[in-house]
Amino acid sequence: MSLTPVSWHSTGLGESDVQPTRTELHWRLGLLLLGLAMLYLPTFADLARTVWASDEQGHGPIILSVSLWLIWRKRDQLLNLPSVHGGAGAWGLLAFALVVYLLGRTQAVLLFEVGSLSLLLTGLLLLFWGRPGLALMAFPLLFLLFMIPLPGALVATVTGPLKSGVSAVAEFLLFHAGYPVGRSGVVLSVGPYQLLVADACAGLSSLFTLEALGLLYLNLMQHSAPLRNLALAILIVPISFLANVVRVMILVLVTYHYGDAAGQGFVHSFAGMVLFIVGLFMMLAVDALLGRWLPAAKPVDGGLR
């Protein structure tokens, strides 16, 4: 009797084909998350003390929390994907992301410092799970971009026309409703009171936040009709504008009926929540109308993903 040596290649059990176990994947993922936390916790701490404490960028923590939740709910699908060995492209993207982070951190450029997180996550996904992993996490990575603080020059350029438009529409509606309202630029006069429409009330940041809310709604609904998704995504912009108009009108009416103290107190802070509630209800109403006019949409894969 003779023994015939067994070739690994003949059985298809080459070393490169051996997939890591689920426990190994959990350890890898845990170490990656620990490394990311150590890298970006100082950034988030600085944001919490500065930018996120302002009305204009107060949506940052919400965007971060929702993005992490979106990633977490797809963790099992990610871990079930076959592990791959990333090529030079993935390593190059990781190196570029780290350079962008270092540049932003050392030079206090928040656009680079915070924006590097999406680049870094994209590189890690390509490195460990390839394009399938990137496709799976495409929306959470896109949603994470809404957390990036907007450049001051861009905010100043766009906010001016937005505030003027919101002020003009609010004045028009209130005047034709019988209220003694006048307008000078972005200052609304109602009775003995004058109200300045600030950036937080009708600026680019609130529009940006409502746009993020609309995209999240689209992702959760998972309509199978592409035209319905496209129409709703486009209509989110005027919906956001109208939601800002409603917010300003509420503040004007509260000030007129209950005084300046009431308009600038709790109601002023609560108006930010009203903005999102109004925007959400408008999106639901518009989506319901689109569902009647456009082909019926059904959930993909039997429900939410």
For residues 113 and 232, state if they share a domain. no
* Same domain, yes or no: 286 and 157: yes
CA distance 36 to 120: 9
Residue 24 has pLDDT above 90, yes or no: no
In sequence order, the β-bridge partners of residue 194 are 189
- Round to whole Å and give the CA distance between 216 and 74: 15
For 81-107, what is each residue's pLDDT tens digit? 887 777 888 899 999 999 999 999 999
- Of the ranges 20-24, 38-42, 170-174, 275-279, which one carries the lowest mean pLDDT score? 20-24
* Most distant CA atoms of the chain, gap in Å: 109
Q: Which of 105, 247, 292, 305 is catalytic?
A: 247
- Tens of pLDDT along 108-135? 899 899 999 999 999 999 988 889 999 9
- Whether 141 and 156 map to the same domain: the answer is no
pLDDT at 272 over 80: no
**How confident is residue 15, by pLDDT bands cut at 50, 70 and 90?**
very low
Q: Which of 111, 145, 179 is the C-terminal boundary of a domain?
A: 145
Rounded to an integer, the average pLDDT of 10-28 is 55
Instruction: Report pLDDT digits (tens) over 172-197.
Output: 999 999 999 999 888 898 888 888 87
Look up the domain containing 203 and give its range: 152-302
Interhelix angle for 60-72 vs 204-221, to 10°? 20
Is pLDDT above 80 for 11?
no
Asked whether residue 170 falls in the same domain as residue 50, the answer is no
DSSP 8-state secondary structure symbol assigned to residue 21: P
Range of weakest confidence among 63-77, 172-186, 287-301: 287-301
* Residues 188-242: tens digit of each pLDDT: 988 888 888 776 666 667 777 788 888 888 888 877 778 888 888 888 888 888 8
Is 28 among the catalytic positions? Answer: no
Based on the fold, state whether residues 129 and 251 are members of the same structural domain.
no
- Quick check: is 247 catalytic? yes
User: Which pLDDT score is estimated for 1?
Assistant: 43
Residues 225 and 294 grouped into a single domain: yes
10 pLDDT band, cuts 50/70/90, is: very low
- Both tokens of 293, joined, read 């006019």
Q: Is residue 4 part of a domain?
A: no
- Domains in the chain: how many in total? 2
Question: Is residue 240 domain-shared with residue 166, that is, in the same domain?
Answer: yes
Domain shared by 125 and 192, yes or no: no
Indicate if 193 and 64 belong to the same structural domain. no
Gap between the Cα atoms of 231 and 302, Å rounded: 23
Residue 5, helix vs strand vs coil:
coil
- Residue 193 confidence (pLDDT): 85
Q: Which of 105, 183, 201, 228 is catalytic?
A: 201
Residue 3 lies in a domain: no
